[in-house]
Chain A
Amino acid sequence: MATTQTVRVGRGLGERAMGRVFLAPSFAFMAVIALFPVFYAIGRSLYDIQGFRQEFTGIDNYVRVLTDPGFLNAVWNTLVFTVASVSLEFVIGMAFALIMNQAFVGRGLTRAVILIPWVIPTAVAAQVWRFMFDRNPGFVNAVLGTDINWLRDPFWSMVGVVSADVWKTAPFVALLLLAGLQTIPKDYYEAARVDGANALQRFWSVTLPLLRPAIVVALLFRTVEAMRMFDFAYVFTGYSNSLATLSVYAQRYLVREPDLGYANALSTVTFVIVMLVGLAFISRMGRHMIGDVARKEKR
């Protein structure tokens, strides 16, 4: 949406039409690889499929989804995970970004080092963390001096997955926020300093408001990704209900306990939930960014 708006702002009509022509192939491509599977899945979710036998059952699968305690449990797990991991990642990522934005000796090295966790494939990172959390040989317990069943106790396994995910994705948030920080002109800080604002006030009144678009983008990406998190939960506890997220729960009916119609209904509901959250973010983001552009236009 933001792109079409921008196009309309500066250019003439002819170029707009040209833009559509240029966009058509990529739109067609998106339609084939993204929209078709979505609608196909929605179609399949209206059937009860057992091997070669299938029967149209309308919304039965959806009724079952909404009354399935396993599904509600997965929603709860996903929410807990999303809220916990995204808030921690945001706070830690912000701290990283502020550090990396300072000029100091070894800044380049620090930036590179901080990004290492994020470039490791999640499935690999998950295996490594699982091994470290395992009670036998028990690396994490040895370091912390605890005797916690990190992988099987429902509470602690959630703590484990959240920490592993924070370790992995806080650098990603830091990267996005750093990009935002670097666009803030130094003049504002100087002006604030002249006005006698201390560090906290400068952060609160200059950095945060100007960083807002970057923050919204970072939170959007992280929230949507966290809501469809699969790797860590699956590697840590398999299909166990104690940690099953929406994706893991859908996968269970797709692969482990095949019931294709139901699996498609679960995927569709998951898709809708994630999309609603995504739209909520985008609409907020859109209001600020597009609003600014529009105001500029009027002027």
Chain B
Amino acid sequence: MPLLPHQKRYTARVFAAGAAALGLTLATACGEPPGEGTAGEGGDTAGLSDDPAFVWAVTGADRAIHEEVARLWNEENPDQQVDIFFLAPTADEQRQAMFQDLQNQAGEFDVLGLDVIWTGEFAEYGYIESLEDLRGEVEGVSLEGAVDSAQWQQELYALPYSSNGAFLYYRTDLVEEPPTTWEELYDTGTAAAEEAGISAYVGQGDQYEGFVVNFLELYWSAGGQLFDDAQERSTFLEGDAATTALDFMTRAYETGFYADGFDTMVEDDARALFQAGEAVYMRNWPYAIPLLQGEGDEESAVVDDFAVAPLPTFGGEGTTSALGGLNNAVSTLSDSKELAREFVLWAATDPEAQDVLMRNSLPPTMLSAYENTEDPDFQMLGDILAQAEARPPVPGYNSLSLAVQDHLHPAFRGQAEPQPALEAVDQAANDALEQE
């Protein structure tokens, strides 16, 4: 290369441009994450008390509801007030924030609001206290599935707080009676969709936890159970439930019963399509009801044309929903464990506290709340939740869930062989029982 007089300056210039560009990239990459408003989506205490005796870490979703519950406690216990630390609204970030608090021995949080599937993991890691001696207080008082989700290896580690269950939303102008079997759902949906020129079914088909839930609801309603009663080995492949469920999904995908884009759809995508009048059926949580009734900011095309029903089963008997919601647990690092236990018990069994949830359309876990409500949808939800299945809160649930996503998602899209995929899930279920 010929030697040029300006070579050095030239190199420096290129470097400067590159460095400036890199600096800008870093600045944008490290900026505020999009969509996280300053309105407190998470990551700060709520300032509910000047002198809080303990801190409750809970999701930033449904923020106002949790605040109302905490205020109620503070009114009743002015000497031992609680403050809330709001975590991010998404499950992964919540778990990560709690892990950081615990793993680094910070111990800022006394009460942990845990997703129903985390019990085994937190218990196994030594993050939460056993609450086995409080079992008598919640058994027969709280939803059975919610209590199931709060225990690991027959020991209670958390108490129920809120719940969630699935409805089958259907179009009353297109379908006369809600179906009771999946076959009937398929047939009526296909026919009505063809006639109206819209899609038959929307739900949660993206490769995430929602897909696992949608699959398990089919699986359970075909009589399947992931584990034996002692939670010692996988029974995923026993009977033909796994094949039945996967076959149904594969066929629904192939024949276009599932709407276009089902394989990338999450809760709110499904809700938006159904709300626009683009689908006959939808599987979704209760939160969509007020939105579909036109009470949100978005217009609804189905205000008077929809109703909810329990999800169908393969046999036509009963209904099977996956159970969602939160349980409260006591952190092993808490320095006010007695108080934290009191609060956890109060949130689970105080009728007034549970009524706060009910009034705000967040499903409570106390059975009596459903007996006293006059809202027919919530009465139905009470029935659904009484029959709902808890996803097994085994320590390796996250790995199991990822295995279901990794293997069954390509399988139902016809890109992987079904049998090896199901066997891989069975293997993952066994692995999920034991920590490595």
21 A–B pairs (Cβ distance < 8 Å), ordered by A: A51-B127, A52-B102, A52-B125, A52-B126, A121-B34, A122-B28, A135-B261, A136-B261, A136-B264, A149-B413, A152-B409, A153-B415, A180-B14, A183-B14, A217-B14, A238-B206, A242-B410, A256-B92, A258-B95, A292-B8, A293-B8
B406 proximal to A (CB < 8 A): yes
A186 proximal to B (CB < 8 A): no
Q: Which of B14, B28, B126, B436 is close to A179, meaning CB atoms less than 8 Å apart?
A: B14
The answer on a CB contact under 8 Å between B17 and A176 is yes
Q: Which of A48, A51, A136 is close to B436, meaning CB atoms less than 8 Å apart?
A: A48
A124 proximal to B (CB < 8 A): yes
Q: Which of B6, B102, B259 is close to A136, meaning CB atoms less than 8 Å apart?
A: B259
The answer on a CB contact under 8 Å between A217 and B15 is yes
A110 proximal to B (CB < 8 A): no
B399 proximal to A (CB < 8 A): yes
Q: Which of B15, B28, B264, B415 is close to A134, meaning CB atoms less than 8 Å apart?
A: B264
CA distance A6 to B298 in the complex (A): 62
| Chain B residue at minimum C-beta to C-beta distance from A209 | B1
The answer on a CB contact under 8 Å between B264 and A152 is yes
Least Cβ distance of B101 to chain A in Å?
13
CA distance A53 to B15 in the complex (A): 47
Q: Which of A50, A154, A179, A217 is close to B415, meaning CB atoms less than 8 Å apart?
A: A154
Of the four ranges (under 10, 10 to 19, 20 to 34, 35 or more), the interface on chain B belongs to 35 or more
A135-B264, A240-B207 given as contacts; is B406 within 8 A of A123 (CB)? no
Q: 1/0 per residue B7-50: CB within 8 Å of A?
A: 11111011101100110110011010110000000000000000
Least Cβ distance of B330 to chain A in Å?
15
CA distance A135 to B99 in the complex (A): 36
Which residues of the partner chain B approach A51 to less than 8 Å between Cβ atoms?
A: 102-103, 122, 124-127
The answer on a CB contact under 8 Å between A134 and B261 is yes
A295 proximal to B (CB < 8 A): yes
A46 proximal to B (CB < 8 A): no
The answer on a CB contact under 8 Å between B3 and A296 is yes
| Chain A residue at minimum C-beta to C-beta distance from B208 | A238
Seed contacts A255-B95, A288-B1; 13 additional CB < 8 Å A-B pairs: A50-B435, A136-B273, A175-B17, A183-B6, A183-B9, A213-B10, A238-B208, A240-B207, A240-B406, A240-B409, A289-B11, A293-B7, A299-B3
The answer on a CB contact under 8 Å between B14 and A149 is no
Q: Which of B11, B34, B103 is close to A260, meaning CB atoms less than 8 Å apart?
A: B103
Least Cβ distance of A169 to chain B in Å?
9
CA distance A135 to B261 in the complex (A): 5
A167 proximal to B (CB < 8 A): no
Q: 1/0 per residue B73-112: CB within 8 Å of A?
A: 0000000000000000000100110010011000000000
Which residues of the partner chain B approach A6 to less than 8 Å between Cβ atoms?
A: 8
| Chain A residue at minimum C-beta to C-beta distance from B22 | A221
Which residues of the partner chain A approach B17 to less than 8 Å between Cβ atoms?
A: 175-176, 179
Q: 1/0 per residue B173-216: CB within 8 Å of A?
A: 00000000000000000000000000000000011100000000
A172 proximal to B (CB < 8 A): yes
The answer on a CB contact under 8 Å between A213 and B126 is no
The answer on a CB contact under 8 Å between B413 and A295 is no
Interface size of A in residues (CB-CB distance below 8 Å): 59
Q: Interface residues of A: mostly helix, strand, loop or mixed?
A: helix
A-B complex: 10 closest residue pairs judged by Cβ atoms: A51-B125, A136-B261, A179-B17, A135-B261, A52-B126, A183-B10, A136-B260, A214-B14, A217-B18, A257-B398
A76 proximal to B (CB < 8 A): no
Which residues of the partner chain A approach B207 to less than 8 Å between Cβ atoms?
A: 152, 237-238, 240
A68 proximal to B (CB < 8 A): no
| Chain A residue at minimum C-beta to C-beta distance from B259 | A136
B217 proximal to A (CB < 8 A): no
Which residues of the partner chain A approach B399 to less than 8 Å between Cβ atoms?
A: 257
Least Cβ distance of A90 to chain B in Å?
14
A121-B31, A127-B34, A257-B398 given as contacts; is B21 within 8 A of A135 (CB)? no
The answer on a CB contact under 8 Å between A240 and B405 is yes
Binding site for A on B (CB under 8 A): 1, 3-4, 6-11, 13-15, 17-18, 21-22, 24-25, 28-29, 31, 33-34, 92, 95-96, 99, 102-103, 122, 124-127, 206-208, 259-261, 263-265, 269, 273, 332, 398-399, 402, 405-406, 409-410, 413, 415, 435-436
A136-B273, A179-B14 given as contacts; is B103 within 8 A of A124 (CB)? no
A225 proximal to B (CB < 8 A): yes
Which residues of the partner chain B approach A257 to less than 8 Å between Cβ atoms?
A: 398-399, 402
Which residues of the partner chain A approach B405 to less than 8 Å between Cβ atoms?
A: 239-240
CA distance A115 to B4 in the complex (A): 31
Q: 1/0 per residue A100-137: CB within 8 Å of B?
A: 00000000000000000001011110010000001111
Which residues of the partner chain B approach A252 to less than 8 Å between Cβ atoms?
A: 402
CA distance A6 to B11 in the complex (A): 11
A166 proximal to B (CB < 8 A): no
A227 proximal to B (CB < 8 A): no
Q: Which of A122, A179, A256, A289 is close to B398, meaning CB atoms less than 8 Å apart?
A: A256
The answer on a CB contact under 8 Å between A149 and B263 is yes
CA distance A185 to B10 in the complex (A): 11
A163 proximal to B (CB < 8 A): no
The answer on a CB contact under 8 Å between A151 and B264 is yes
Least Cβ distance of B106 to chain A in Å?
13
Which residues of the partner chain A approach B124 to less than 8 Å between Cβ atoms?
A: 50-51
A218 proximal to B (CB < 8 A): yes
A278 proximal to B (CB < 8 A): no
Which residues of the partner chain B approach A295 to less than 8 Å between Cβ atoms?
A: 3
| Chain B residue at minimum C-beta to C-beta distance from A172 | B21
The answer on a CB contact under 8 Å between A241 and B14 is no
| Chain B residue at minimum C-beta to C-beta distance from A293 | B8
Q: 1/0 per residue A240-270: CB within 8 Å of B?
A: 1110000000001001111110000000000
The answer on a CB contact under 8 Å between A225 and B8 is no
Least Cβ distance of B36 to chain A in Å?
11
The answer on a CB contact under 8 Å between B406 and A135 is no
The answer on a CB contact under 8 Å between B25 and A225 is yes
The answer on a CB contact under 8 Å between B21 and A53 is no
CA distance A175 to B16 in the complex (A): 12
Which residues of the partner chain B approach A134 to less than 8 Å between Cβ atoms?
A: 261, 264
Which residues of the partner chain B approach A259 to less than 8 Å between Cβ atoms?
A: 436
A240-B406, A256-B92, A258-B99 given as contacts; is B25 within 8 A of A53 (CB)? no
Least Cβ distance of A212 to chain B in Å?
8
Which residues of the partner chain B approach A288 to less than 8 Å between Cβ atoms?
A: 1
CA distance A221 to B273 in the complex (A): 42
